[in-house]
Structure 1
Amino acid sequence: MNTNKITQAIGTIAILGMSVPALAADQSGWYLGGSGGQAHATIAEQEIIADLLASGYQTLDFSTDRKDFGYKLFVGYQFNPNFAIESGYFDLGSFEYVATTNPPGTKTGSLTFSGWNLDLVGTMPLTERAALIGRFGVHEGKTNTQFVGTGAVNVLNPSHRNTGFDFKAGVGYQYQISDAWTFRIEAERFRMDDAVGNNGDIDLFSMGIIYRFGTNRKAPIVVAPPPPAPTPAPVPPVTATEQYCSALEIQFEIGQESIERVNREHLLVLATFMSTYPETKATIEGHTDNVGTHADNQILSEQRAQSVVDYLVREHRIAANRLTVVGHGETRPIADNSTVSGQQANRRINAIIDCANDMAGLSTLPARTTLAMALEFDSNSTAVDAKYHYQLENVAKYLHANPDLIVTLEGHTDNVNPATALEISQRRAQNVANYLVDNFHVDRSRLNVEGFGATRRDTYNITASHRQDNRRVNIILGYPK
């Protein structure tokens, strides 16, 4: 048996990704994978016919089975988003031919090929989730070749085995389904020795899946408002003044115009500033992502800006004539709308606020520090995953250390049945509250539970990962009921 020569160019693709910008998510660490598909070998028909003729046999018919199922199992380590190393076991199946001869008889040959490999893998990103891959490596291959003769054909040595090192190379495409799971398609070529003196190649065209370890770890997030702009040092004369300015940026959930608890502290800073300087005015600008029609996004951006104005007037007694509403719709994005994080960044409010001059030494009240945390749930599940035990213990410790604080637990769902969505979200929030009470002795009177069903999405429920992001309980500390 023999096969076509491999071109040296294939192996060079393995290092292309090393100089290309990395994917958005950090994928470093260990992973496991497996793939399977069709293996294909080229049978050296002319060489076999020539060998038979030299032994006194004329070949009347020559048939081959060049294809079989092949698979590989592997473990890898991702050093950075552009470079990894993989090692594993492969089995490329068996291949055979049957030659019918004169004098009457047949000669059947079969080959099996398996072994272990070690590859360098390079990645070249195409989008945030999709990438091309190239690999080059070595393998220890085990070849088993069997020959059977019938009729006039006599086989003196029917069995040949060989184990040796050789090289392999391949190219492919992969897509990151979620933080943990990656889908991969590949074409690989294995150089091999057929154990009877011929060198050749076997190609494997496969599809597979990869699981990455350590991608579900999430820690509590400390959310604090932007620090105020630095103020100039006071000037000694009494007539000297300092300039005080303020700015605001808050984000919205999908399709929402209401003010979330986590943003009320930011609005407190703005209200304190405007109350301290009654001559200042502010322009409140609303923005959206690009999902939906232009007209609907324009209306939604105006409604978001108006909700901020209404909140400042109602809760902080800021005069309405000091606040101007402007809606920009989707026309002023600050991030890429093709990504979930970019869409979320574009659903926002900006405030352009006058600067004020006053006597030296006057300052606005600082915002209170807040703590927020999000817990994710399996589909239709309300059980609190044990992996959040230590994070919830930290929340409990924070509450015990700050007895004046209370907690608001907000439950959410993805696009489940609307009739049960509200109930599921409320049960999720209530179960988190029970967990804090039962495991860490938090006073239940300090826990305020609310369910919002599927009305407040972080993402658009397009993929399994997006839906998981929407199945959550938000824990928000530092706000009165």
Structure 2
Amino acid sequence: MKKMHLLAVGMLLTASSVSTWAQAVKSDRGVYIGFEGGIGSYHIGGEDASSSENYTDSRNASALRALIGYRFSPNFSVEAGYLSLGSYKRELIHGNHRWNLKADTDAFDLSIVYKFTQFVPGLYVKGGLMNSKVSIQTVGEGPGRNRSTRDSSRSGNGYLLGLGYEYDLTPNWSANAGFTRLQRIGGSWEDGVSVDANLYSAGLKYRF
């Protein structure tokens, strides 16, 4: 009877070990999904300051990103994401005229992620391509409260580079925080103007 008890305990321990090993293997590769939120800061380069001598702007915006990826190994993965970057706003006053501009960005990206397992376990770097669309609304007000609204958009390709840290909470769940540089938002603009952004984010991932 005692031998039967020992055999049963041994079988339970073996099953538990196999299950734990299977979970560990499962977490090394496979599909994962995630969600990130944070703050983005727009950077406008190549502007002629003399043509916009009296303006104020708000360049910080909220950011949300949903992603799906595939982990080929503990180090390498490929992921695709959709990013919604909140409004960049500018108010320009010239004489009796006032213009209010608001721009929102939607972007799709495809990135390669390398996660360190030796140097600083959890540290990762990533790089990829993105296609982004900037939707612009300009509202002008003149003498006599004359008001006009103009909507436009611009799309184009750019790229991104990122650095962050990911911590495994369980074999399936992980939390991450990182910095991403978005280059050439909306593609190429007229007059040599460039639109870039810095994104600071944190999020969760679930590995199947």
Q: Same fold judged by TM-score > 0.5?
A: yes
Give the TM-score range, shorter chain.
0.7 to 0.9
Larger radius of gyration: 1
**3-state DSSP of counterpart to 1:42:** strand
**1:115 aligned residue:** 107
**Within-5 A mapping of 1:66-465:** 66-101=59-94, 103-125=95-117, 130-151=121-142, 158-191=150-183, 192-193=185-186, 197=190, 198-213=193-208
RMSD of equivalent CA atoms: 2.7
**1:63 aligned residue:** 56
Question: What displacement does 1:156 show?
Answer: 9.0
Contact 1:84 1:120 in 2 (8 A): yes
The normalised TM-score by structure 1 is 0.35
**3-state DSSP of counterpart to 1:179:** coil
* Unmatched segments (≥5 aa) in structure 1: 1-24, 53-58, 214-481
How far apart, CA to CA, are the structure 2 residues paired with 1:177 and 1:83?
19
Letter of the aligned partner of 1:37 in structure 2?
Answer: G
Contact 1:175 1:184 in 2 (8 A): yes
Cα 1:194/1:28, change in 2 over 3 Å: closer
Question: What displacement does 1:196 show?
Answer: 5.0
More helix by share: 1
How far apart, CA to CA, are the structure 1 residues paired with 2:55 and 2:196?
20
Cα 1:151/1:195, change in 2 over 3 Å: farther
How far apart, CA to CA, are the structure 1 residues paired with 2:187 and 2:59?
14
Deviations 1:311-364 (A, max 9, x none): xxxxxxxxxxxxxxxxxxxxxxxxxxxxxxxxxxxxxxxxxxxxxxxxxxxxxx
* Unmatched segments (≥5 aa) in structure 2: 1-23
More strand by share: 2
Question: Following TM superposition, where does structure 1 have runs of at least 4 consecutive aligned residues deviating by more than 4 angstroms?
Answer: 154-157
How far apart, CA to CA, are the structure 2 residues paired with 1:182 and 1:117?
21
Percent sequence identity over aligned pairs: 25
Question: What displacement does 1:146 show?
Answer: 2.1
Contact 2:139 2:149 in 1 (8 A): no
How far apart, CA to CA, are the structure 2 residues paired with 1:86 and 1:155?
45
How far apart, CA to CA, are the structure 1 residues paired with 2:150 and 2:102?
10
Deviations 1:215-266 (A, max 9, x none): xxxxxxxxxxxxxxxxxxxxxxxxxxxxxxxxxxxxxxxxxxxxxxxxxxxx
**3-state DSSP of counterpart to 1:80:** coil
**1:260 aligned residue:** none
